[in-house]
Structure 1
Amino acid sequence: MALCNFNPKLSGFPLRGLSKYQEFGCISFLDYQSCLKAKTFGFCIRAKFLEKKQAGKLEFGSEATVKRKEIKKVGKKEQHLWKKNDSAGSGQKALNLVRMLSGLPNEKETVYGALNKWVAWEVEFPIIAAAKALQMLRKRSQWHRVIQVAKWMLSKGQGATMGTYDTLLLAFDMDQRADEAESLWNMILHTHSRSIPRRLFARMIALYAHHDLHDKVIEVFADMEELKVRPDEDTARRVARAFRELGQEEKHKLILRRYLSEFKYIHFNGERVRVKRYTSEED
């Protein structure tokens, strides 16, 4: 068997799909002298010649096929002329709102009228600026203003989030309005029963514990266990203290044993030491 390279003009083989200047290999069972004369005993292996072009790839073989690169057309983006998602300038708007509210009397009609004027020329409700204003008022401990702004937002159907509810419950606690906090909590519990975070439960238990409403603390804790929300250690201590104040010492120890960690850290000789917590130890 001989392997030879020869010019296709000499062999006379019909070449389809190949240019006349391209060479290909021939494997024959005959020797080199009779390789050019034999046509029936030899066979050819045609190589595929790929030529890259700008439009695509051309593949040469027994049949010429053309593969073109698919071009995906990008659709036009929709333009929303009246929709603004950026929060540019919201901080300055919030600061202007806080300054405006600081000079108003504590009358509901006056405050609500000023807030309505603040959003009168807005295309969309400035929810980001209002939320930042709530945080500013919270840092300044202006709890009465926090309650007014939060209630106004909820009356407009805006800001009904867990963060707003948490800020409003804290303001009710600091402003000594436990009854209004209870009404808001009942609304939250019936509306968002399956999606109340642990932070709101902890906030409500802290509010009731702050006002020495131990039976209310037990009720909120019962809702937590029903919804399978595990309390943190501070909340567990408040619940255990409520059981102890109600004379239920066994449940007090049970809460501490179930929800407090097995170990705690204390400072001994200037170092932080990890020691085992005893179940009989009180908080």
Structure 2
Amino acid sequence: MAAASAPWVVAGLPPACQPPGSWPPPVPARCACRRPSASRWPPGSTSVSPSRNRGLSTFRPAAASFRVTASASLPPQADEPCAPTSRVSKKPNKQHHLWIRKDSAGSGKKALRLVNTVSKLPNEKEAVYGALDKWTAFEPEFPTIAAAKALEMLKRQRQWLRIIQVTKWLMSKGQVLTWTTYDTLLLALFMDGRMDEVESIWNNIIQTHTRSVPKRLFSRMILIYDIRHCPDKVLEIFADIEELGVHPDEDTTRRIGRAFAALGQEDKERLVLKKYLKKWKYIHFNGERARVRMGGPLA
């Protein structure tokens, strides 16, 4: 009888209604690569182990038999080949987005390369401009920060001719037209002895940017004319300062006073010094910061 040959018999059921075969069903053999190690599952322990498949949870009793609670995701049979496991790795994005690219990245090296390039060139406009065009040929956007750093390096090295060449090339490209660039160009032209170009550029600046010329450029022009012993030119710049309402610094004020004194106008010198010089200044006395009157005994 089928029911008698079974290892178990359900009480209360006739022999014809007994389920055929053995029950519970045999546990399918797991693949060797997924078999847990003996150290992880010591004999005689009872624990619940989460399967690699999220839909499967297995229970390990001490009798080394398994009970599957979710039959839809059974492990592969012994005769089924185990699929090789592969990890999903995210490839790095090597695409450079130009709209979020930082312009200051590597600007110091670019500036140093520009300085080393122009320092070895002959004093010819075509050679210098050709090298500068090659410097920016493969740049996706104009290296503004690198060009400004290169001008500062050339200024520290006192290469006035190279500053003039690089600045005029930048002006022809319409790039780096800042007040610092104009100030560096005026200084380089003055140190190179080109006073006619200094006056031409200054007149162009004062006519184009009348209300926005900074105090720094006025001080630069007064310094240039004071070194050249041109007091009349100093007073012309001072007239523009008075008209535009620019307050000169202390050094520029003393140069203006000396220009009035050189022309024999001592009364105007006193008025200028009284108007623009500070009445008080701060000094350190006995380890403390103290305010004293300008021209006093402690000043």
- Shorter-normalised TM range: 0.5 to 0.7
Aligned to 2:105: 88
Aligned to 1:72: none
Identify if the C-alpha distance between structure 1 residues 81 and 275 changes in structure 2 by more than 3 Å, giving closer, same or farther. closer
Aligned to 2:230: 213
Find the aligned partners of 1:187 and 1:227 in 2 and give their Cα distance.
17
Aligned to 2:79: none
**Equivalent residue for 2:143, pick from 126, 144, 156:** 126
Identify if the C-alpha distance between structure 1 residues 272 and 172 changes in structure 2 by more than 3 Å, giving closer, same or farther. farther
Alignment check: 8 A CA contact 1:178 1:207 kept: no
**Equivalent residue for 2:254, pick from 233, 237, 245:** 237
Determine whether 1:222 maps to 2:233: no
Find the aligned partners of 2:284 and 2:146 in 1 and give their Cα distance.
45
Structure whose CA Rg is larger = 2
SS in 1 for 2:174: coil
With the length of structure 2 as denominator, give the TM-score of the two structures. Answer: 0.61
Aligned to 1:262: 279
- 1:91 CA drift (Å): 1.0
Whichever residue aligns with residue 109 of structure 1, its letter is E
With the length of structure 1 as denominator, give the TM-score of the two structures. Answer: 0.65
Alignment check: 8 A CA contact 1:233 1:259 kept: yes
Alignment check: 8 A CA contact 2:283 2:292 kept: yes
Structure 2 counterparts to residues 120-269 of structure 1, below 5 A: 120-263=137-280
Find the aligned partners of 1:212 and 1:165 in 2 and give their Cα distance.
22
Which digits, 9 at most, give the CA deviation of each residue in 1:114-142, with x for residues without a partner?
A: 11121122222211111111011011111
Find the aligned partners of 1:153 and 1:167 in 2 and give their Cα distance.
13
Find the aligned partners of 1:238 and 1:140 in 2 and give their Cα distance.
28
Identify if the C-alpha distance between structure 1 residues 93 and 206 changes in structure 2 by more than 3 Å, giving closer, same or farther. same
Find the aligned partners of 1:243 and 1:176 in 2 and give their Cα distance.
25
Aligned length: 201
Find the aligned partners of 2:260 and 2:124 in 1 and give their Cα distance.
41
- 1:260 CA drift (Å): 1.1
Whichever residue aligns with residue 90 of structure 1, its letter is S
Find the aligned partners of 1:149 and 1:226 in 2 and give their Cα distance.
34
Identify if the C-alpha distance between structure 1 residues 126 and 264 changes in structure 2 by more than 3 Å, giving closer, same or farther. closer
The structure whose residues are more often strand, as a share, is: 1
Alignment check: 8 A CA contact 1:119 1:125 kept: yes
Gaps of 5+ in 1: 1-78
